[in-house]
Chain A
Amino acid sequence: MKYYAYYPGCSMEATGAPVEKAIHAIAKPLDIELMELEDWTCCGSSPFSGVDKVKAMAITARVLAQAEKTGLDLVTPCSSCYTILREANELMKEDHKLAWQVHEALVSVGLSYNGTVNIRHIVEVIYNDVGLEALAAKVKRPLTGLKVACYHGCQQVRPDYGFDDSELPNWLDNMAKSLGAEPVNFPLKARCCGSSLVISETGMAIDLIHKLLQNAQDNGAQCIVSTTCPLCHTALDAYQSQVNSQFKTKYNLPVLAISQFIAIALGLDEKAAALDYNVVSAKKLLAPYFSGKASLAKAESAT
């Protein structure tokens, strides 16, 4: 069992429910223990950087200061939080004035931050700490034959973190493969969904989401497997009906977060995989796998 400090981020408490519930369901089977930070507050995020950068960094620093007390790696599933937490960590090392300003504010409430926290995306933790082999070994319900488009989104891989490719990443593809599925070619897998402006520039964001859905479907995907970012997942899943009304399309493409996808492959039930929370239902598509018919058909064709 490996222990991590866990920072879900605000969206996980609402729109991110399907992603989050599945994360908690798969943690134990994957031998990881996510210890949620006590009394955490928002990470600050990019909209706040557009209001006041120093304040935004101070908000982020409170999270980092709390995490530092645990002595554990800080894991987050939200790509937006991940980017902001990492940025704050780096900036406070480079920019001494900023570090001092933030330090003074933290000290005034009895906190301090020494820059020692290692910030990690949960996808990277599953990829590196659990590993593809261990993941494959735990599969009880292989998703054989399922054609999936793996959506990494932008902030899981950018700015450049120096591990998965920042423009054509393939970690989710490799994970989906070790669960038995068939990742399709998906050139827009790390292009932006526009989620940060979906409230104020709705039309523009819907246009970006439309392009992603189109690209996935044109390449033969039966569903999208998305990163654990609740914002990416909601954009593709919950806003799909808005795409359909704006573009007169008929997309009905289930979007499963990788946490849900893993839960299904590990043999957990629909409840653990939080399938009821998806706006575009994946139940029909997955029925053959839950009834065992899909693997049977595959076994027959193999003999």
Chain B
Amino acid sequence: MINGKTTFLNEVASIPACDKINECVQCGVCSGSCTTAEHWEYPPRKIIAMVRSGMKDEVLNSNSIWYCVSCYLCTARCPRNIKPANIMHALEAIALKEGYKPPTKTTTMYRSFANSIEKNGRIYEFGFMLDYFLKTNPFAALKMLPLAVNLLKHKRMPLLPKSVKGKDQLNKIFHNITTGGSR
């Protein structure tokens, strides 16, 4: 909170569950525990250090945080109760909101996911996957075909969404929370 300015650190710390980021002691337990660390250019500990030094563009242009699979090993082990997984998801949200374009397809996947909820009130798995593949690489969907066929065969992939009455109410909640002043 340097001079009360809206720094990158402040921006992150104001997101729910991320307020302890400044208490991180840089022990590296999170990086050492991370299920997917081998894929991260900057592993979780480093990301936290970079946020604290204000390296916004470097953090948000990197694909590192997008490899977080929410396994919570970091969170269960962190000696300072920092909740690194939450910080990674918070950074993802900032990157999306501010139009960063990190080299990953997970950004599109998350958007398809969120759209599916807004449209149907629930995740409609087939529609969500279709939407994602059409927006990224329809040919990659071919690789998924055997899986889809297997799921269809075993009656685990309904091709039409269920209509949920609660979705209108959910959309009102969405609307009101955005207009009600987000952080």
**In the bound complex, do residue B177 and residue A105 qualify as a contact, i.e. CB atoms below 8 Å apart?**
yes
Alpha-carbon separation in the docked complex, A278 to B39 (Å): 32
**In the bound complex, do residue B173 and residue A204 qualify as a contact, i.e. CB atoms below 8 Å apart?**
no
Residues of A within 8 A of B97 (CB): 52
Which stretch (A91-99, A118-126, A287-295) binds chain B? A91-99
B72 contacts the other chain (CB 8 A): yes
Known: A48-B117, A52-B182. A279 touches B151 (CB 8 A): yes
Residue of B nearest to A281 (CB): B154
**In the bound complex, do residue A54 and residue B117 qualify as a contact, i.e. CB atoms below 8 Å apart?**
no
**In the bound complex, do residue A14 and residue B96 qualify as a contact, i.e. CB atoms below 8 Å apart?**
no
A249 contacts the other chain (CB 8 A): no
B129-163 contacts to A, CB under 8 A, are 129, 132, 136, 140, 143-144, 146-147, 150-151, 154-158, 162
Known: A51-B110, A59-B117, A199-B129. A98 touches B16 (CB 8 A): yes
**In the bound complex, do residue A158 and residue B76 qualify as a contact, i.e. CB atoms below 8 Å apart?**
yes
Residues of A within 8 A of B183 (CB): 54, 97
Min C-beta distance of B11 to chain A, whole Å: 12
What 0/1 pattern do residues 66 to 80 of B give for CB contact below 8 A with A? 010111110110000
A200 contacts the other chain (CB 8 A): yes
**In the bound complex, do residue A14 and residue B180 qualify as a contact, i.e. CB atoms below 8 Å apart?**
no
A159 contacts the other chain (CB 8 A): yes
**In the bound complex, do residue A158 and residue B71 qualify as a contact, i.e. CB atoms below 8 Å apart?**
yes
Residue of A nearest to B73 (CB): A158
Which of B69, B96, B117, B177 is close to A42, meaning CB atoms less than 8 Å apart?
Answer: B117
Which of A14, A109, A154, A158 is close to B172, meaning CB atoms less than 8 Å apart?
Answer: A109
B100 contacts the other chain (CB 8 A): no
**In the bound complex, do residue A208 and residue B35 qualify as a contact, i.e. CB atoms below 8 Å apart?**
yes
Residue of A nearest to B146 (CB): A241
B70-110 contacts to A, CB under 8 A, are 70-73, 75-76, 83, 85-86, 89-90, 92-93, 96-97, 104-106, 108-110
Which of A13, A48, A205 is close to B158, meaning CB atoms less than 8 Å apart?
Answer: A13
Alpha-carbon separation in the docked complex, A83 to B87 (Å): 16
Residue of B nearest to A104 (CB): B180
Residues of B within 8 A of A279 (CB): 150-151, 154
A41 contacts the other chain (CB 8 A): yes
B43 contacts the other chain (CB 8 A): no
Which stretch (A128-136, A177-185, A190-198, A215-223) binds chain B? A190-198
**In the bound complex, do residue A47 and residue B147 qualify as a contact, i.e. CB atoms below 8 Å apart?**
no
**In the bound complex, do residue B110 and residue A192 qualify as a contact, i.e. CB atoms below 8 Å apart?**
no
Residues of A within 8 A of B39 (CB): 204
What 0/1 pattern do residues 1 to 42 of A give for CB contact below 8 A with B? 000000000110111111000000000000000000001111
**In the bound complex, do residue A42 and residue B123 qualify as a contact, i.e. CB atoms below 8 Å apart?**
yes
Residues of B within 8 A of A95 (CB): 16-17, 19
Alpha-carbon separation in the docked complex, A45 to B113 (Å): 10
Alpha-carbon separation in the docked complex, A61 to B123 (Å): 17
Min C-beta distance of A93 to chain B, whole Å: 11
Residues of A within 8 A of B4 (CB): none
**In the bound complex, do residue A41 and residue B164 qualify as a contact, i.e. CB atoms below 8 Å apart?**
yes
**In the bound complex, do residue B117 and residue A242 qualify as a contact, i.e. CB atoms below 8 Å apart?**
no
Alpha-carbon separation in the docked complex, A277 to B155 (Å): 7
**In the bound complex, do residue A48 and residue B17 qualify as a contact, i.e. CB atoms below 8 Å apart?**
no
Min C-beta distance of B43 to chain A, whole Å: 15
Please indicate which of the listed interface residues B19, B35, B70, B155 has the most CB atoms of chain A within 10 Å of its own CB: B70
B169 contacts the other chain (CB 8 A): yes
Alpha-carbon separation in the docked complex, A60 to B157 (Å): 24
Known: A46-B89, A191-B35. A204 touches B67 (CB 8 A): yes
**In the bound complex, do residue B71 and residue A55 qualify as a contact, i.e. CB atoms below 8 Å apart?**
no
Alpha-carbon separation in the docked complex, A95 to B15 (Å): 10
Min C-beta distance of B32 to chain A, whole Å: 14
Q: List 15 additional A-B contacts (Cβ < 8 Å) besides A192-B73, A194-B36.
A: A10-B123, A14-B151, A16-B156, A45-B123, A46-B70, A49-B92, A101-B180, A101-B181, A104-B180, A154-B72, A196-B70, A201-B67, A202-B144, A234-B156, A276-B155
User: Which 5 residue pairs spanning A and B have beta carbons closest together?
Assistant: A192-B71, A50-B92, A158-B72, A10-B123, A200-B109
What are some 27 contacts across the A-B interface (CB < 8 A)? A41-B122, A41-B170, A42-B122, A42-B170, A49-B93, A50-B92, A52-B114, A53-B16, A53-B93, A54-B182, A55-B178, A59-B117, A59-B173, A62-B173, A80-B70, A83-B70, A105-B180, A109-B172, A111-B169, A154-B71, A158-B73, A158-B76, A199-B129, A199-B132, A200-B132, A205-B69, A245-B146
